[in-house]
Structure 1
Amino acid sequence: MRLDGFGLFVDDMGKMIRFYRDVLGFEIKEAEDTSNVYLVKDGTLFLLYGRKDFENMTSHKYEYVKGLNGHSEIALYVDTFDEVDAAFHDVVSKGATPVLEPTTEPWGQRTCYIADPEGNLIEIGSFGRPFESRA
């Protein structure tokens, strides 16, 4: 097996599509009333799936966290420290919820956190060099 991608089960598909498309710049072409968004972002599968549709498909009822949650994060990378700061201010000005202002951590990463409309944490970070050479 190999990792193919990740997904989020969402309550308000329209709001989440608008956030990931209009605030973070994901290329989402589906209509806001869809039940399933399936796209590839930078070589990684990203899926938004309606909670009710998933429950109907699996014949199970699930519990969902409300508000900011720390179950997982989505990590986005930019090449420079300045880009971390600029991206943070840009997405917050477009409606992202600020969680952690840009800061340089002791391990050498400049990072910040925002949240999407359903409370999922998103990190924007950099080690001050292009993604391909970060190892």
Structure 2
Amino acid sequence: MCLPAWQQPLNRASAASAFPQATENRKVNSMSITIHTAALAHIDPAESIAFYRDALGFEVRGDVGSGTMRWVTVGNPDQPDVSILLAPPATDPGVTEEERRMISEMMAKGTYGWILLSTDDLEAAFERAVSAGAEVVQEPVDQPYGARDCAFRDPAGNLVRIQQKR
């Protein structure tokens, strides 16, 4: 199978020649791109709101739609320019029934979506999430790659990892 050039794996030498500005860590045209919103799927918007508000301490910034066709935006009150959009899965009319079934199965297994968060106090964040009833996947642990983190599943099955800030 022939992949387009932008999807082909690059070794460091070819990456440096193909994308010199990226390897030099420079801004292009004085442009700065930042993260505004990350999206995760939800099954039950009320359960998702309770998890992100009560277990993680996020604020609800937006809530539109009704029933399971609700789009909810949440985020850290101290980080107003970055949000998580909790959206119903597979609402695009181009998604087939087979694809919807596959997405539902992946969500049930917890393999569809994930996010990595960070905190100054991992132990307190873990205790807050446990107290709020979060499904624990991994208690706080020192990872072999140097990070200390823990993991939960949100009500839709998304993996939520929380890492101790260094």
User: Could you tell me the TM-score, scaled by structure 1's length?
Assistant: 0.73
Q: Which has the larger radius of gyration?
A: 2
Q: CA RMSD in A?
A: 2.6
| AA at the equivalent of 1:109 | A
Q: Is 1:11–2:43 an aligned residue pair? A: yes
- Superposition deviation, residue 59 in structure 1: 5.0
| AA at the equivalent of 2:155 | P
Aligned runs of 1:48-67 on 2, under 5 Å?
Answer: 48-51=86-89, 55=91, 58-61=93-96, 62=100, 63-64=103-104, 65-67=106-108
Query: What's the counterpart of residue 21 of structure 1?
Result: 53
Tell me: CA distance 1:35–1:91, structure 2 relative to 1, closer, same or farther (3 Å): same
Query: What's the counterpart of residue 114 of structure 2?
Result: 73
Query: Is the contact made by 1:108 and 1:127 (CA closer than 8 Å) also made in structure 2?
Result: no
- For 1:46, which of 84, 89, 94 is the aligned residue? 84
C-alpha distance in 1 between matches for 2:148 and 2:134? 19
C-alpha distance in 2 between matches for 1:58 and 1:38? 22
C-alpha distance in 2 between matches for 1:68 and 1:92? 20
Q: Unaligned 5+ residue runs, structure 2?
A: 1-31
**Secondary structure of the structure 1 residue equivalent to 2:144:** coil
C-alpha distance in 2 between matches for 1:10 and 1:103? 27
Tell me: CA distance 1:84–1:35, structure 2 relative to 1, closer, same or farther (3 Å): same
- Superposition deviation, residue 107 in structure 1: 2.6
| AA at the equivalent of 1:76 | L
Q: Which runs of 4+ in 1 moved over 4 A?
A: 31-34
Query: Is the contact made by 1:39 and 1:47 (CA closer than 8 Å) also made in structure 2?
Result: yes
Number of aligned residues = 122
Tell me: CA distance 1:68–1:86, structure 2 relative to 1, closer, same or farther (3 Å): farther
Query: What's the counterpart of residue 123 of structure 1?
Result: 161
- For 1:35, which of 63, 70, 79 is the aligned residue? 70
Q: Is 1:98–2:136 an aligned residue pair? A: yes
Structure number with higher relative contact order (C-alpha < 8 Å, ≥ 6 residues apart): 1
Identity among equivalent positions (%) equals 30
**Secondary structure of the structure 1 residue equivalent to 2:84:** strand
| AA at the equivalent of 1:21 | R
**Secondary structure of the structure 1 residue equivalent to 2:108:** coil
